[in-house]
């Protein structure tokens, strides 16, 4: 039985991954910042006859991370897989973000992943094996207009994942990045709020609203977030899984564009993709 700790399980990919892994017979510890929000997961688990333990883990709080990881290790005796799923999304003109808004995104998407990883790694090293799955984004491969803050955090996560994978190879620990495209999840909905400095007189207003509209439409069109949960489960259980998995596969062109398209052409293509001229 594989012991799995997942962060950010109150909704979205985390909730779906917890269910998918439990269906496969894994022992799942589904963590979330506010354990009072575990009703949706518990209801789904009960419907499917699945045994999933929920626990409190706020990736922004070192003490919370330490206590949660210690609990899982003490209860199960090991941690075979960690899914760093907790994250936040923000969309808007880079110029209009306040310092604290930028910091809040990095606090969860980058520092939070580091805190949990740092706490779990000694357990996996002692075991001589383990799997770490970081839920990133296609936005961590190519940065579209008005995704600067979110993409910056996911670019950082991609760099961390790539380097960590090399560092842990001799220790028998696999590290995989899962990069979802746009899906209609709660994190995406929360990221729709404009930055603090954005107002009706913003010089970016028209283009920002166009991009936001295109983004919302793309999320609505991708109606199977279960694909990401399946990819996470596959990454944990299949040692042949590549270091980076893009979901859905049709978004693999994004990674290809990054390496094959001149920067000026890439920017033009990204603008056109979101309905912007020039």
- Between the alpha carbon of residue 119 and those of residues 70, 172, 186, the distances in Å are 9, 17, 27
What is the secondary structure of 123-160 as a DSSP string?
HHHHHT-EEEEEE--GGGTS--TT-HHHHHHHHHHHHH
How many domains are contained in the chain?
1
The active-site residue, picked from 111, 150, 183, 251, is 150
Q: Where residue 61 sits, what CATH number does that domain have?
A: 3.40.50.720
Q: What is the pTM of this model?
A: 0.95
Per-residue confidence (pLDDT) for residue 187, from 0 to 100: 64
Give a yes or no: residue 278 inside a domain: no
Examine residue 50 and state whether it is found in any structural domain, yes or no: yes
Q: How far apart are the first and last CA of the chain?
A: 54
- Is the omega angle on the peptide bond into residue 248 within 30 degrees of 0, that is, cis? yes
Q: What is the per-residue pLDDT across 14-58, written as a single tens digit (0 to 9) for each? A: 999 999 999 999 999 999 999 999 999 999 999 999 999 999 999
Q: Tokens 């706020």 sit at which residue?
A: 58
3-class DSSP state for residue 30?
strand
Q: What percent of the chain has pLDDT over 70?
A: 97
Taking 90 as the threshold, does the pLDDT of residue 156 lie above it? Answer: yes
Is the distance from CB of 120 to CB of 82 less than 8 angstroms? yes
Per-residue confidence band for 222, with pLDDT thresholds at 50, 70 and 90: confident
For the beta carbon of residue 46, count every other beta carbon within 10 angstroms.
11
Domain that holds residue 15: 3-273
150 carries an active-site annotation: yes
**For tokens 């696999």, what's the residue?**
174
The pLDDT value given to residue 53: 98
Burial class (CB within 10 angstroms; exposed 0-12, middle 13-18, buried 19+) of 174: buried
Q: What is the DSSP letter of 247?
A: E
Range in 3-12, 149-158, 268-277 with the lowest mean pLDDT: 268-277
Alpha helix locations (H) across the chain? Answer: 12-23, 39-47, 62-76, 99-106, 113-127, 148-168, 186-190, 205-221, 226-237, 252-260, 263-273
Q: What pLDDT score does 180 carry? A: 95
């Amino acid at each position: 039985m594989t012991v799995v700790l997942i962060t950010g399980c109150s909704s979205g990919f985390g909730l779906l991954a917890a269910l998918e892994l439990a269906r496969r017979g894994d022992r799942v510890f589904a963590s979330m910042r506010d354990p009072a929000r575990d009703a949706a997961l518990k209801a789904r688990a009960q419907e499917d006859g699945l045994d999933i333990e929920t626990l409190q883990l706020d990736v922004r709080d070192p003490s919370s991370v330490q206590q949660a990881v210690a609990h899982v290790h003490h209860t199960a005796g090991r941690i075979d897989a960690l899914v760093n799923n907790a994250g936040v999304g923000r969309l808007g003109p880079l110029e209009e973000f306040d310092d604290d808004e930028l910091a809040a995104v990095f606090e969860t998407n980058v520092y939070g992943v580091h805190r949990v990883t740092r706490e779990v790694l000694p357990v996996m090293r002692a075991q001589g094996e383990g799997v770490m799955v970081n839920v990133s984004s296609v936005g961590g491969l190519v940065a579209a207009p008005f995704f600067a803050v979110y993409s910056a955090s996911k670019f950082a996560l991609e760099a961390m994942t790539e380097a960590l994978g090399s560092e842990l190879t001799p220790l028998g620990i696999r590290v995989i990045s899962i990069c979802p495209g746009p899906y209609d999840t709660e994190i995406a909905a929360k990221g729709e709020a404009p930055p603090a400095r954005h107002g009706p007189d913003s010089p970016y207003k028209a283009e920002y609203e166009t991009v936001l509209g295109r983004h919302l439409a793309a999320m609505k069109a991708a109606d199977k977030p279960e694909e990401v949960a399946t990819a996470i489960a596959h990454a944990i259980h299949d040692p042949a899984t590549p270091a980076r998995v893009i979901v859905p596969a049709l978004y693999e062109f994004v990674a290809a564009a990054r390496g094959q398209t001149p920067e000026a052409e890439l920017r033009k293509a990204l603008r056109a993709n979101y309905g912007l001229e020039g």
